[in-house]
Structure 1
Amino acid sequence: MKFDCRETSDLLFVKVLAERIDAAAALKFKDSLREFTGQAKASHVVLDLSEVGFIDSSGLGAVVAVMKLMGSTKRLDLAGLTPTVEKVFRLTRMDSIFTIHAQAEDVNKLYKAG
């Protein structure tokens, strides 16, 4: 699984460069995100899922696990959910747990405005 990471002073953007986050990829996904967030100085992480067309319960569990691993010192937001992925988050009510942005760039605009 590949990722594109970029960090600004306050934000870490992690774009998932994969079509699926499923049982086969969930462990690698979680381990990679743990490494990225652990090394980051930024306290706000934005996970860009705009290239992910499918996520199963293992993938959803991995996203939740990453949020828990980050603890109370860092914040995880999601961005760019495709319709199928957004539906999974909505049906499982995880959309009430995470702040979800239409696109990753929206977070940058919010930070600059605030």
Structure 2
Amino acid sequence: MQLDQRTVGDAMIITVNEPRIDALCAIQFKEQMRILSADAPQRVLLDLGQVDFIDSSGLGAIVAALKQMNDGQSLELACLSETVQKVFRLTRMDSVFKIHADVPDLGSCDA
């Protein structure tokens, strides 16, 4: 599982550089998110622009990443493909997460 992070202003942007978040990598994703977000600023933005597929384990790992945020931190999502967006809509997780069409204030997604 390849995650890159950069801090821009008051936000940490974590980019998932994988086409899938599924059962094979969900535990690794969750652990890497825990490490990266531990010292992150209040706003953490997860860029999913390169993710084409997410299964229930992947969705669960993203929800777990939200739950392991420190007090005062938020986890926002950006650049969801139509397929990934559909998973969030069908499970109503789109009402739990703030979802951006692109990475705010930084222009369009890489995907």
TM-score by length of 1: 0.89
- 1:71 to partner: Cα distance: 4.0
Q: State the Cα RMSD in Å.
A: 1.1
* Conserved? CA contact 2:7–2:13, under 8 Å: yes
Structure 2 CA distance, aligned partners of 1:4 and 1:68?
20
Question: Which has the larger helix fraction?
Answer: 1
Pairing 1:51-66 to 2, within 5 Å after superposition: 51-66=50-65
Structure 2 CA distance, aligned partners of 1:68 and 1:46?
14
| Unpaired runs of at least 5, structure 1 | 110-114
Pairing 1:1-114 to 2, within 5 Å after superposition: 1-40=1-40, 42-104=41-103, 107-108=104-105
TM-score by length of 2: 0.91
Q: In structure 2, give the amino acid aligned to 1:68.
A: K
Spell out, residue by residue over 1:18-58, the C-alpha distance to the aligned partner (whole angstroms, 9 max, x if none): 00000000000000000000022x11000000000000000
Tell me the number of residue pairs that the alignment of Structure 1 and Structure 2 aligns: 106
Structure 2 CA distance, aligned partners of 1:10 and 1:62?
24
| Unpaired runs of at least 5, structure 2 | 107-111
Q: In structure 1, give the amino acid aligned to 2:6.
A: R
Quote the sequence identity (%): 49
Q: In structure 2, give the amino acid aligned to 1:16.
A: V
